[in-house]
Structure 1
């Protein structure tokens, strides 16, 4: 088990003691997250924690983290018995973004809450229509747009759709994510009207076994 930052330990223990099912009442988690992350020094605390990790623990953090088309997702705390995990997202410079997912209209397999530690981004929320036969997005309509800066907090449920078309260089965000509530997520390109289903590779082993 990794040496844990007292802040992360405190946050995790509070969620573990919650007397309600987290996934079913994620809006309550959002209210809690807003109260607990609107504090000074959060970014500094996380930075000190990462810089102080022993080499073997730093390796564990790196191995369970991943790269996306727009950012690096660093996994800070993920105990299998918990219905949540904590992450730090490090956005790439805009010039290094690859188009296709985070900057498309998309949803997630899980619920999450986020706060911007540094930098900022443009955030758009959409109403999306999912075709009942193909189960892909057939259209999407912009609902609202906001410029989010350091200190801003927000939440997304798994069925909600959004897009981050651009972010400031060196943007960092801290998140709490639920366990997956859907087997896949969807993305949609408003210009080409093309939709894709995104299935995590680790869930496809059974399908591979049947095909090989």
Structure 2
């Protein structure tokens, strides 16, 4: 079924990710030449998913774009958040579904779930967007998300004041809990049903 409720909100994001000048925009965001900047540039040029996963922990600051990259998510302020955003872009490519598996195999699911607990909005939002795409039509990714402890964070995200954040978290949680009774019980026990009802009433 996929992320139907979030598809419209992320159309602009996917389009922006596919723009030919996107690489130039990324380069303009880099505030200074540091080790992580060099690593990011190299990973970008090579499409190195494993390196982007490793860079998600980076706190190296970057400059902001003049235009927003995503309809609701905070723009990346560090290489770490930018790396998570790049993983979201890979996961959004409908014609290359194998990239979702490559991200999981590189340990990306665990890293992104960890970012869900970040106090920095750009890191948290980038992770939510990436996991939303990664959970769409990919059972193994959903299982990995549950095993990594994503469900409590997703339920918490459903309480957000940002509609897009609530929708993305709800849809990702749904993609997980439809797979197994154990996942549904965890969703129910964590208060997910109550949040879902509130979300539907908005």
> Which structure has greater strand proportion?
1
> Which structure has greater helix proportion?
2
Using CA pairs below 8 Å that are at least 6 residues apart, which structure has the higher relative contact order? Answer: 1
**TM surpasses 0.5:** no
